[in-house]
Amino acid sequence: MRSPLRIILASCAGVSLALLFSFGWHDERTAAVQLVPFVQSEVQASIALQTATDVLVTLREPTSIAGLSPASPSAKWVIALQQNSVLAGFAEDEFITTRRYKSLPILAGRINAAGLAKLTAHADVTSVAVDGVGSIATGETLPIIHAPEVHDNGFTGEGVVVAVLDTGADIDHPDLEDDILYEMCFASDCDESEHPADDEHGHGTNVTGIITSDGTIAPLGVAPDAKIAVYRVLRRSGSGRFSDWIAALDDIIANHPEVSIVNMSLQSRSGCPSSALTLAISTLRNEGVATFIASGNHGNKNLLLVPSCIAEAISVGATYDGDNGSVDGWKADCSDPTTALDQVTCWSDSDNSLDLLAPGARATSTGVGGGTITYMGTSQASPHAAGVAALLFQAFPDLTVNELEARMKATGKLLTDDLDDADPSTNRTTPRVDARVALLDPDEDADGDGCSNGEEFGSDPRFGGQRNPLNPWDFHDVNGDGIITLFDDILAVINGFGTGGNDPLLDRSPAPAAGQPWQQGPPDGTIDVANDILGIASQFGHRCVGAP
C-alpha cells in the first residue's frame, strides 16, 4: 500500500547551479552508439494522409532521478528541463504541445513530418506513438465474491483511497456523496463548473458505486467505506484520448500520495506496446499503487489491447453472476446461448496474461440522477477486483502491489474459459476474486483442521498450496536437466505443459492415478519431466501433516 507521506528532497528555490549537472537529464553515451527511437507505423501513415497527427512522445528516463520519488521537486524539475530540451527548436506548426506531464518524461502534442524528423533525431526521445482514442468498456454480485462476510468482520475499505478514471461520477448521489474525496477533470470537454467531474454519461457512476456505494438506494459496494478520487478522463460521449488518461495518472503521481488503487474501466483498439501509458502505470506500481483495468469487451480470446495488455497493470475479465438467459456479445461470433454463475462471458477479452476474473454481468449499482442502473461488461468486473483490493489494503496495510496481486491470484476460485469445445487443451484457467479467502490471515487456521490458511490456500510462498504463483517450483525446468524439485511433502503435481501441450509422450512424470487430473509427486522431492516441457503449472496439496 502506498504511504501517504513523502520525503521532499529539495525545493526548487534551493537548487544551486551545481544541481543542473548532478541532476542533468542526458544519459551518458559514446559517439559510437546511436539510439534510434521507436516510431509507431501508424504515426507515419497518419501524417501521410492528413499532414499532422496527435502523438504521445516518451522520453528516456533521466538517470539522475533514479531513486528519487517522482513527486519530488527535484525529479519534476529535471523532467521539465528535459522536456524543454526536446521542445527547443520547433517551428510553431511542427509540434503543437497539448500536454506536459509533471512527474512523467512524456509529452503530448500534434506533429507534422518536419516535427517528426526533429523528434526522432533527439537523443532523449525513445518512442513516438499515436495518441490513441479509447472509451468505456461497456444483480447482486457481492455474495459471489463473499464480500458480506468480510464486511461482517469489520473490513469495509476504510482508510483506503481509490482513484476512478472514467466518465466522472454523480457527485450528489446519496450513495456516493460521502465517499468522494476530490474530483478532477482531464477530458477535452471539461468546463469551469463547480463539479467538473460530474457524470452526464452514467458509466463512471455505475463503476464508482460498485466500489463504494453506501447501499441506501443502490446495492452496497464492495468497499463501502473506501474514499473515491473522481477523475473524468472521457468526454460526455464516453470516449477520450490516451494523453488525457496519462494526465490523470500524472496528477496522482505528482500530487496525491493518498491514492492506493486506480480503476480504469477503459478499453481501446490499440495493441501493445504503449510506451507512455506503460511508463505511467509502472511508475504508479513502483510507488505502491495498484492499477486495475478492464480486459475489454471485444470478444478476443487470444489478445488483450491497450490498456489491459500493460503487464504492470492488473487486468480483469468478466463472469456472469447467475442465469441471465441468452446473451449476445458485441461481435458477430460471440453469443452465450445459456449463462450460469461463474461462467466466463464470450465477450470478455483474454490471453494467457489475463490476471483475474470478477463478476461483470450483470451489475446493478448507482446511476446518474440518484437512482440505479444495470450494466454488463468487463468495466463492471474491474471495480469488483479494485474493491477487494481496498479491503485487503485495509486489513494488510503493508502489502506491496506484488504481494496484493499474488494474494488475489492465489486465493481466487479457479474458473475455466472453454475456448474451443473440440479441443479441451485450449481452455484457459484464471482465478476469480474471492474476498473472504483473500482476507484470511495466512498464519491462522480458519477451519480448525490443523493447517494454516497459508498452507491451504497458497497465499504463503513457503508452501505449495492450492495455487501459488509465488512458489518458485511452479515454473519450469531452469537448467534443462529434466528434473523439477519440489517440497518432499507436496502431494501432487499437475501435468507438465510443453511443446506438445499435455502430450503424455513428452511427459516422463509418474503416471497419474485413476480419476485424478494430476501427477503424483514422488517422496524424494523431485519429479522427472521431458527437457522440452515448459513448466509445471501448479502444485496441489499441503505441507501441513494435518491436512485432509
- Note whether 103 and 282 are within 8 A (CB): no
Q: Report the C-alpha dihedral over residues 292, 295, 297, 302, rounded to 10 degrees.
A: 180
Cα separation values, 430 from 57, 155, 215, 344, 453, Å: 35, 25, 30, 10, 21
- Phi/psi region, residue 377 (left: phi>0; alpha: psi -120 to 50; beta: rest), is left
Active site residue 260: no
Active site residue 379: yes
Rg (CA), the chain: 25
- Note whether 405 and 392 are within 8 A (CB): no
Catalytic residue among 54, 124, 131, 166: 166
DSSP state of 3: -
Could you tell me the sign of the dihedral formed by the alpha carbons of 412, 414, 420, 426, in that order? positive
Three-state DSSP state, 106: strand
**And the C-alpha cell for 396?**
494488510
The DSSP element (H or E) to which 175 belongs, if any, is none
Distance of CA 56 to the CA centre of its chain: 21
Active site residue 198: no
Nearest to 136 by CA among 239, 211, 210: 239
Three-state DSSP state, 438: helix
Nearest to 413 by CA among 393, 438, 394, 389: 438
The CA-CA-CA angle for residues 127, 128, 130, to 5°, reads: 135
Catalytic residue among 64, 135, 274, 379: 379
- Phi/psi region, residue 67 (left: phi>0; alpha: psi -120 to 50; beta: rest), is left
Catalytic residue among 203, 256, 298, 542: 203
Indicate the burial class of 270 (C-beta count within 10 angstroms; 0-12, 13-18, 19 or more). buried
Rounded Cα distance between 310 and 231, Å, is: 20
Three-state DSSP state, 415: strand
HEC-encoded secondary structure of 440-503: CCCCCCCCCCCCCHHHHHCCCCCCCCCCCCCCHHHCCCCCCCCEEECCCCCCEEECEEECCECC
The DSSP element (H or E) to which 150 belongs, if any, is helix 147-152
Rounded Cα distance between 469 and 479, Å, is: 20
Active site residues: 166, 203, 379
